[in-house]
A and B are shown apart, each in its own frame.
Chain A
Amino acid sequence: MKRQAVSNAHAAYLRRIRRDARTVRLLRIALLLGFLLLWELGADLRWFDPFILSSPSRAFGTIARLYRDGSLWLHIGTTLLETVLGFLLGTVLGALLAVLLWWMPRLNRILDPYLVVLNALPKIALGPVLIVWIGAGMASIVVMGVLVSLIVTTVTVLNGFLAATDEKQLLMRTLGATKLQTFCKVVLPGGVPDLISALKISVGMSWVGVIVGEYLVSKAGLGYLIVYGGQVFKLDLVMASVIILCVLAALMYYAVAFLEKKVRR
């Protein structure tokens, strides 16, 4: 999407900002490479004990080994499935709850303090309860992912709806609009930006919920690998899992950001 320059000075300006963007990109990559290099060097030169802190070569070696013995995709797939399920369910249910609360202001007033408390409560504290109720399986983990993202989605989306309603409601009344029309034509489109910020928040939240869920109960998944690696002092396995997590979380975040760009236009 290159902009056409309208004058020489403008062309120089465009060149300048492009060069600037390139510099930032290069420095970002340099930072990552520098970090990995120092980590590796530190382990090789025994600045620290690689048994405790691992090293990039050992971590990537572990990933390669997991790949060879076929368990890599099992762990990634398990965690990814749980997270995507938790994220989608949490977002859809949270958004529906927000619609309901917008539609029924009285209900909103009644539930408001409960929402505040639930929002402030560390949902992770409910983990043991979930295991008892739902059982020590994948369902518990998904529900954890849902719980962590649900309330924050509801609160963010509802606030967006209310902000979009406020002043435009009078206009819609003068035009003779019904409540459903006001919702469809004003509130919902006006709330889209907040819906998307909610997505961005809840995608991160779902990772938290799922990894913690896997700490508590699981036989597969990245959270399982981390806990297991910690227990048997295989820090290479822990670091390898964390690196994979970083990549996955980033990919999912950018997928949402990409969606945002599509919707904004």
Chain B
Amino acid sequence: MQSELLTFSDVSLSYYTVEGETTAIQNLNMTVNDGEFLAIVGPSGCGKTTVLSLIMGLLKPSKGSIRFSAPDLRLGYMLQRDHLLDHRTVEKNVLLGLEVQHRLTEESRARAIGLLDRYGLGSFRTYKPAQLSGGMRQKVALIRTLALEPDLLLLDEPFSALDYQTRLNLSDEVYRIIRGEHKSAILVTHDISEAVSMADRVAVFSARPARLKEMINIGFPAVLSPLERRKQPDFHDYFDRIWKELQP
């Protein structure tokens, strides 16, 4: 039996510009469970990033509400681009969040550096971001988020800027990291196979304004890595189902 982490009830959100009003989300109802890996797929521009901004509290719903099971739930947001600060070393970039939140102690520093070591970036601690590959940068951005010890990770198309090979390898690794650290996660993507290969459940969004069209349970055991999942016979059944749902 799983407990709920957060619940969207009838959430709507509109953006206002000089040109007019864009309703990005309309009457969204959705639940995120504790400990699960939820993927959100939907056409480009449908309102996926907006959903993450709402959870993060960067935006307030125009209507409806988002209820958290625990008021002090810690959130970690990994943006679409890595946004590493060029003038800081890898280590100092990873510590940025802790610094800002006045949580930088000997212990939290050691933990963050431990994450760098554990995930193969230990020898790059003193490097500047410009000296890293795209995949490594993305991993540093993830560790910067993990260093804050979030209960729920929000990942906004974290692999979209990478080439195919890097993308497959990194999604494997990120999956391992998130599972290894026992986090809940919401992954936003427009790549169906990425969603099926990583998530416990896939939320399929309609075109704008975003509604929840379908919630699909992915029945793979959690021990399978994304690459192994891609080789499962029913992988393509899931893919086809979501693909059909996404057709207008």
CB within 8 Å of B: which residues of A? Answer: 167-168, 170-177, 181, 185-186, 189-190, 192
User: B100 to A189, Cβ gap below 8 A?
Assistant: no
Interface of chain A: mostly helix, strand, loop or mixed:
helix
A94 to B198, CA, bound (A): 52
Q: Which residues of A contact B77 (CB under 8 A)?
A: 174
User: Nearest CB to that of A171 among chain B residues?
Assistant: B83
User: Nearest CB to that of A172 among chain B residues?
Assistant: B100
Q: Which residues of B contact A172 (CB under 8 A)?
A: 100
CB distance from B122 to the nearest CB of A (A): 23
Q: Which residues of B contact A170 (CB under 8 A)?
A: 58, 79, 83
User: Nearest CB to that of A176 among chain B residues?
Assistant: B101
Closest 4 CB pairs of A and B: A174-B77, A171-B83, A189-B87, A177-B100
Assign chain B's interface to a size class: 10 to 19
Per-residue interface assignment for chain B, residues 19 to 30, with 1 indicating a CB less than 8 Å from any chain A CB and 0 otherwise: 000000000000
Per-residue interface assignment for chain B, residues 73 to 90, with 1 indicating a CB less than 8 Å from any chain A CB and 0 otherwise: 000010101010111100
User: Nearest CB to that of B58 among chain A residues?
Assistant: A173
Residue of B58, B85, B97, B148 touching A190 (CB-CB under 8 A) = B85
A168 to B58, CA, bound (A): 14
Q: Which residues of B contact A168 (CB under 8 A)?
A: 83, 85
B96 on the interface (CB 8 Å rule)? yes
Q: Which residues of B contact A175 (CB under 8 A)?
A: 96-97, 100-101, 148
CB distance from A192 to the nearest CB of B (A): 7
A174 to B101, CA, bound (A): 11
User: Nearest CB to that of B97 among chain A residues?
Assistant: A175
User: Nearest CB to that of A189 among chain B residues?
Assistant: B87
